[in-house]
Amino acid sequence: MMTSTDRIEKEIQLKAPLPTVWKALSNAEEFGNWFGAALKGQSFVAGKSVKGNIIIRGFEHIVFDALVVSMEPQHHFSFRWHPYPMDPAIDYAAEPTTLVVFELKETDTGTLLRVVESGFDQIPVSRRSEAYRMNSGGWEGQLRNIEKYVVT
């Protein structure tokens, strides 16, 4: 089996109804609550950017900056961003972005949530491996966060 370095794929079975999970993903303020970004007063709209400081301890210097690509209610949500933009001395605006896609599917026990982040092969070689590694672990943590958020 080949391992791709261009895409991260994660999924989780959530014991929550599809509308609840969709709202947690598609409502910018709710997304910010479980993701750890200050997005109060903002909305996710296709073609528009959303920005807010990360509020997770140790990551406060990072700005969540995403361009919403598409939204299909209760099925699909995607955005583009700069993966793992940790160094405040680097202007990541000149780099390509990765595409983050959330897909939802209703199941007998709740909702299957799948996240795919692709485009790492276009990230500069000097930081590609670390961005991939950190975002891979980051998505594992974020799936646990949304699970806590929608199941409680």
Task: Give 79-89 pLDDT, tens digit per residue.
Answer: 999 999 998 88
Determine what percent of the chain falls in helix, strand and coil, rounding each to the nearest 5. Answer: 35, 35, 35
Structural domain contains residue 110: yes
Give residue-wise pLDDT tens across range 60-108: 999 999 999 999 999 999 999 999 999 888 899 999 999 999 999 999 9
Residues 6+ apart with CB under 8 A from 113: 11, 12, 13, 14, 21, 25, 102, 103, 104, 143, 146
Half-sphere exposure of 84 (CA within 13 A, CB side): 19
Domain span holding position 61: 12-151
Q: Which amino acid is at 109?
A: T
Structural domain contains residue 82: yes
Half-sphere exposure of 19 (CA within 13 A, CB side): 0
pLDDT band at 3 (very low <50, low <70, confident <90, very high): low
Number of independent structural domains in the chain: 1
DSSP-derived letter for residue 76 is E
Structural domain contains residue 87: yes
CATH of the domain at 107: 3.30.530.20
